[in-house]
Amino acid sequence: MVILTLNCGSSSAKYQVYDWDNKDVLAVGIVERIGLEYSTIEQKSTGKEVYEARFSSPTHMEAIQLVLKMLVDEKYGCIKSLDEIGAVGHRVLHGGEYFKKSTLVTDEVIEKLKEIIPLGPLHMPANIMGIEVARKLMPNVPQAIVMDTAWHQTMEEAAFMYAVPYSWYKDYNVRRYGFHGTSHLYCAKRAAVLLGKENKDTNVIIMHIGNGASGCAVKNGVCIDTSMGLTPLEGLVMGSRSGDMDPAIIPYMCKNLGVTPAEMDTLLNKKSGLIGICGKSDRRDVHTAALEGDKLAQLGIDMEIHRIKKYIGAYAALLGRVDAVVFTAGVGEMGDHIRKGALSGLENFGIKLDEKKNALSHCRNTETCISADDSPVKIFVIPTDEELVMTEDAFALMNGTYDIHTNFHYTFESPDYVNKARARGLVENLKKTPELESIIAHPVRK
């Protein structure tokens, strides 16, 4: 049996096919430019040629139809029949106050999701559309939703409430929800394995740094605070999002620029962050420009590092004892200059980076330990695997064995767990950089 996971954005649909019995990824793919003059698809099936094509996809219906067709394609596909799909897991941005954990999709669930569209107007309509299309095309296959917000539901009121009129929370659900939950869940539980501790005994700080970025403080294995808020706009400096700022700036600049609240929302989400400072959001481009003397690119890097460092210090204060700091997602995994800058000067917190190890850790698929040998706090780079969390939740829901993450045991929480797809990637990494073997983070047997 295989599990299909779908992550539908406003103009894209990412997908993965996972062989549950053999614990291996069979295919990954993405459809982009949905709703534009033409769409594109790229699919990589294990042992097959990469499939790339342009096609017409006015809506997610055409996109997902093509995805299902290509999964069973003799030349490019990964399964013989759609009957092999046992469940579909959908990533959903927001669970609001309704969904505290993953759940199977019903008509009632979809209606509840539609009610909370105002909490995520940029993402929720596409998430819901993907679910509805998949249900229509695969009516007999169980469908599950996995919320970005679910992991953060363990926060206490003092952490998730804002100091605004309480009626805003009661009447309009204004509170901190947090996002990147599946990523933070995966990294928290993998960090416990690498530390040789029970999840419930582990205190870690996780920095998910990609185009979107968020931090999470994990105490005794659960989230106690996170940087994103009602929406993904709050917190760290991101590729195109502002992160933390004085709220009074908004009415001030609305007046000065003559823009509407909706236009200001677009400015803060799409035209701020690094792209607002230096005109670039891809960290590779920003780093290259800084090395070539671009002062605004260097300013953007300095601002990003400053904000990450500030959150690490704040979370260390909340946790008291810190077992590990974890970096994940594209920049967290590849941006050694960001990690170096963010961790420098934190020795008084017991966080000591080994710069040579840090420079070596510049690859995908490999869990590494980059802290100095005498560092009281471990520093891990853990490639996140949100799709695996979605896969396991979907399988367990279909199988009737699922429970909230504080009671549920994932396969990747075992020291003996082997991700076959990543193992293949690690072999390739070691061929390119044999020295990488010296910093691989191995599970500690209890």
Annotation: binding site for ATP: 14, 208-212, 282-284
Contact, 206 vs 215, CB < 8 A? yes
**Angle 245-93-120 from CA coordinates, rounded to 5°:** 55
- Classify each residue of 333-370 as buried b or exposed e, where b means 16 or more C-beta atoms within 10 Å of its C-beta: bbbbbbbebbbeebeebebbbbeebbebbbbebbbbbb
Contacts of 135 (CB under 8 A, 6+ apart): 105, 143
Question: What stretches of 70-168 adopt beta strand conformation (E)?
Answer: 85-92, 103-104, 143-147
CA 362 – CA 439 distance, rounded (Å): 11
Residue 284 has φ and ψ, to the nearest 5°, of: -65, -40
Out of 19, 148, 336, 393, pick the active-site residue. 148
CA-nearest of 142, 119, 22, 17 to 68 is 17
CA 197 – CA 213 distance, rounded (Å): 27
Binding residue positions? 7, 14, 91, 208-212, 282-284, 386
CA 285 – CA 363 distance, rounded (Å): 17
CA-nearest of 391, 384, 333 to 91 is 391
Contacts of 263 (CB under 8 A, 6+ apart): none
DSSP string across 34-54 = TTSSSEEEEEEETTSPPEEEE
302 is catalytic: no
Tell me the chain's radius of gyration from C-alpha atoms: 21
CA 360 – CA 439 distance, rounded (Å): 8
**Angle 33-36-40 from CA coordinates, rounded to 5°:** 35
Binding residue positions for substrate? 91
**Counting Cβ atoms within 10 Å, is residue 407 exposed (0-12), middle (13-18) or buried (19+)?**
exposed
Using the structure block, give the residue that is written with the tokens 């990469």: 50
Q: How many CA atoms lie within 13 A of 376 on its CB side?
A: 9
- Kindly list the catalytic residues: 148
